[in-house]
């Protein structure tokens, strides 16, 4: 049951990703908002490992994540994943994810732009579909190593934002958020949360971002 949503243009403001809504409003991406607190830690990490190594690690992680995301998207569109087209490592990781993909059905959208006039944020959701028969925001993530739940709270905030944006745009409520994460060494992590548990933290994060922006 595909859902039609307005297309959004991307733009950069102060080197941060924003989306332009059909009404002309410019809203920051939710990943930009939730990534603000990470900036200092990233600077320290880049200084420790060196710019060249940091760029190498970042580029490899981004490429791996993009390819695996595309593989999952194709699979959900009933396209055949040809093993010859992908590196052995990527196929191995995809096969670990694949059983979780069988729990997804009744897909509404994939890789769709959303925005909220109430929260004044925007972003691209990986997938809106039923997961284990419950309508969910589904986000695919890759990681260099296994992570504790308390280390990935920004993922829950992002997914909660998508749920709020989706409901505002479509009037279809979503409460369940699902994070499917695969590590480089093949550890699958599945996080299932109720977005109502994260909405106040999301609002706090947006407030923090806006206050930071005004202080510049």
Say if pTM beats, i.e. exceeds, 0.75. yes
Compute the distance between CA of residue 160 and CA of residue 174 in angstroms, rounded to an integer. Answer: 9
Compute the distance between CA of residue 27 and CA of residue 43 in angstroms, rounded to an integer. Answer: 25
Tally Cβ neighbours within 10 Å of residue 203: 15
Asked if residue 64 belongs to a domain, the reply is yes
Compute the distance between CA of residue 130 and CA of residue 108 in angstroms, rounded to an integer. Answer: 9
Question: Which of 44-48, 94-98, 143-147 has the lowest average pLDDT?
Answer: 44-48
Share of the chain above pLDDT 70, in %: 92
Tokens 């096969």, residue?
A: 95
**Residue 28 DSSP class:** E
Average pLDDT of the chain to the nearest whole number:
90
Q: Which residues contact 3 (CB under 8 A, 6 or more apart)?
A: 108, 109, 112, 128, 170
Asked if residue 203 belongs to a domain, the reply is yes
Asked if residue 176 belongs to a domain, the reply is yes
What's the pLDDT score for residue 4? 76
pLDDT by residue (tens digit) across 57-74? Answer: 667 777 777 889 899 999
Asked if residue 26 belongs to a domain, the reply is yes
Tokens 């299932």, residue?
A: 192
Question: What domain range is 208 assigned to?
Answer: 9-215
What's the pLDDT score for residue 197? 97
CATH of the domain at 136: 3.90.320
pLDDT by residue (tens digit) across 72-81? Answer: 999 999 998 8
What's the pLDDT score for residue 167? 97
Number of domains in the chain: 1
What's the pLDDT score for residue 49? 67
Asked if residue 160 belongs to a domain, the reply is yes
Q: In this model, does residue 146 exceed pLDDT 70?
A: yes
Q: In this model, does residue 48 exceed pLDDT 70?
A: yes
What's the pLDDT score for residue 180? 97
Asked if residue 4 belongs to a domain, the reply is no
């Amino acid at each position: 049951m595909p859902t039609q949503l307005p297309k959004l243009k991307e733009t950069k403001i102060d080197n941060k990703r924003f989306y332009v809504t059909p009404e002309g409003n410019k809203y920051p991406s939710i990943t930009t908002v939730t990534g603000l607190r990470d900036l200092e830690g990233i600077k320290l990490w880049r200084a420790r490992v060196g710019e060249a190594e940091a760029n190498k690690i970042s580029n490899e992680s981004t490429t791996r994540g993009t390819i695996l995301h595309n593989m999952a998207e194709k699979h959900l569109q009933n396209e055949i994943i040809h093993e010859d087209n992908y590196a052995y490592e990527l196929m191995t990781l995809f096969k670990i994810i694949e059983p979780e993909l069988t729990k997804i059905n009744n897909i509404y959208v994939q890789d769709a732009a959303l925005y909220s006039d109430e929260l004044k944020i925007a972003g691209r959701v990986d997938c809106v579909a039923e997961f284990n028969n419950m309508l969910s925001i589904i986000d695919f993530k890759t990681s260099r190593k296994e992570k504790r739940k308390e280390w990935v709270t920004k993922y829950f905030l992002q997914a909660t934002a998508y749920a709020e944006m989706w409901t505002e745009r479509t009037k279809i409520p979503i409460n369940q958020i699902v994070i499917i994460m695969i590590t480089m060494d093949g550890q699958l992590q599945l996080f299932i949360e109720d977005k109502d548990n994260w909405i106040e933290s999301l609002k706090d994060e947006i407030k923090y971002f806006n206050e930071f922006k005004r202080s510049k």
